[in-house]
Chain A
Amino acid sequence: DTGVSQDPRHKITKRGQNVTFRCDPISEHNRLYWYRQTLGQGPEFLTYFQNEAQLEKSRLLSDRFSAERPKGSFSTLEIQRTEQGDSAMYLCASSHSSTGELFFGEGSRLTVL
């Protein structure tokens, strides 16, 4: 296993379109996180899963955002009706609940025109 994998690495879309990002965590990790990072800022928490259960959501996660982890393995983050303000790097991370150390993927960069 080579680490956390995210796809696509870069997505350019027009305002109003829907986009979906996929994250494959490290296989033995039961926790999966989504963060958003804008230029010059630290990552901001969006949501996390323990196994298939979504345990916490940030108020940053508006109703246009939805995340799933249907079988407790990979996860998807969908943004509906994208806005220019959604342009950011979307980072996925995974960890095992016994250690707390988060390992990040390379991110999916979204550009909304």
Chain B
Amino acid sequence: QKEVEQDPGPLSVPEGAIVSLNCTYSNSAFQYFMWYRQYSRKGPELLMYTYSSGNKEDGRFTAQVDKSSKYISLFIRDSQPSDSATYLCAMDAGNMLTFGGGTRLMVKP
């Protein structure tokens, strides 16, 4: 079993939809949680960073962490075609990030 599990998708939604992306993890030592967006043949770009249970909002993006269930989510409101990318969750126990496999998202106009 991988430490971080993420549904690979692809997830296809119409423009304007609310998108929910999820990851589960098994290592209780993870304290910091991040979401990255990665366009094809590019490096990952940091979207959201949080270290506590609860919600954190930034524009159209909301990150949610539930440490008791070992479950994190990223919500994208009013999705746009430019949001089409692979979304990676990542978790940190203090010295390095462990990534999920990524979910490919396609937002259709």
Q: Establish whether residues A107 and B42, one from each chain, have CB atoms under 8 Å apart when the complex forms.
A: yes
In the complex, A25 has a CB within 8 A of chain B: no
In the complex, B97 has a CB within 8 A of chain A: yes
Q: Establish whether residues A33 and B96, one from each chain, have CB atoms under 8 Å apart when the complex forms.
A: yes
Q: Establish whether residues A107 and B96, one from each chain, have CB atoms under 8 Å apart when the complex forms.
A: no
Contacts of A16-71 to chain B: CB distance below 8 A: 33, 40-45, 48, 55-56
In the complex, B88 has a CB within 8 A of chain A: yes
Contact with A along B44-70 (1 / 0, CB 8 A): 111001000000000000000000000
In the complex, A101 has a CB within 8 A of chain B: yes
Bound Cα distance A40, B43 (Å) = 14
Bound Cα distance A42, B100 (Å) = 6
Number of A-B residue pairs with CB-CB distance less than 8 Å in the complex they form: 56
Number of chain A residues whose Cβ lies closer than 8 Å to a Cβ of chain B: 22
In the complex, A104 has a CB within 8 A of chain B: yes
Residues of A within 8 Å of B4, CB to CB, are 42
Of the candidates B46, B96, B100, the one whose C-beta lies within 8 Å of that of A101 is: B46
Contact with B along A85-113 (1 / 0, CB 8 A): 00000010000000011111111010000
Contact with A along B16-45 (1 / 0, CB 8 A): 000000000000000010101000011111
Contacts of B81-104 to chain A: CB distance below 8 A: 88, 90, 92, 94-102
**Which residues in B have some Cβ–Cβ distance to A below 8 Å?**
4, 6, 8, 32, 34, 36, 41-46, 49, 88, 90, 92, 94-102
**Which residues in A have some Cβ–Cβ distance to B below 8 Å?**
4, 6, 33, 40-45, 48, 55-56, 91, 100-107, 109
